[in-house]
Amino acid sequence: MTAVESPTYVPGHGLLAGRTAVVTAAAGVGIGGATARRLLEEGARVLISDAHARRLKEHEARLTAEFGAGAVAAVPCDVTDDTQVRALFDAAVREHGRLDIVVNNAGLGGTAELADMSDDQWTRVLDVTLNGTFRCTRAALRLMREAGDGVIVNNASVVGWRAQAGQAHYAAAKAGVMALTRCAAVEAAAYGVRVNAVAPSLALHPHLVKVTSPELLAELTAHEAYGRHAEPWEVANVIVFLASGYSSYLTGEVVSVSSRHP
């Protein structure tokens, strides 16, 4: 199969002008970092967060140099610690006076056959990926419920739908994120808040390359209809759509960002 080239990067159109967003796990070049940049390009003020404080400050400095002082702020946060989660959302309101958009991107993967998986491996992935999304969604909803407005976008994965060897913990966590998204959306609709999720297939970035074998990446890529992986910004584009007014009647949905074929 001949790979289709990545499309041209789409410039911002001011879709989120005046809005304030929080993005977790946003330090670096993955989906979180790409999402923070796309939100800024669409006119939002962005609070980025990550458990890696040094990397986070470096990313804040790069974005500030590009988008100007006041456009972006950074708060370190480990989503497994509810005290830090609550401090993150308090900082968003303190920094910008409001909270309009939350992108729950924090997640943790790994590869282990189920029969050989330890309790610690299982628990760690579930605590970051599913419980972390729960903690952040809960904190955001408490603020958005009072405001009567807001959008939450969770990062799930097609692995939540599809079986993949060595991914039982990650698949279970991402399937849980999908279910959490649907239930939260039903509850949040009563006070004007939308909750959706994206489910990427293969969005390649340096961290994924470090933790995935070349053989597995080649196998996964071969199943993509375009014959290539997604760029992180292509996933971020769908997140921006879900965060914007263009998806005003969409809630409780999980949008697949995939070109996979059988």
What are the residue numbers of the active site?
170
Q: What is the largest CA-CA distance in the chain?
A: 52
Give residue 240's Cα distance to chain centre: 11
Q: Which of 149, 144, 36, 41 is nearest to 93 (CA)?
A: 144
Residues linked to residue 205 through DSSP beta bridges, in sequence order: none
Question: Counting beta carbons within 10 angstroms of the beta carbon of residue 115, is it exposed (0 to 12), middle (13 to 18) or buried (19 or more)?
Answer: exposed
Amino acid at 181: T
Q: How far is it, in rounded angstroms, from Cα 123 to Cα 206?
A: 25
Q: Contact at 8 Å (CB) between 242 and 250?
A: yes
Amino acid at 156: A
Amino acid at 149: D
- Residue 165 has a CB neighbour count (10 Å cut-off) of 9
Sign of CA dihedral 207, 37, 258, 130: positive
In the three-class reduction of DSSP (H, G, I as helix; E, B as strand; rest coil), residue 102 is classed as: strand
Question: Counting beta carbons within 10 angstroms of the beta carbon of residue 91, is it exposed (0 to 12), middle (13 to 18) or buried (19 or more)?
Answer: middle
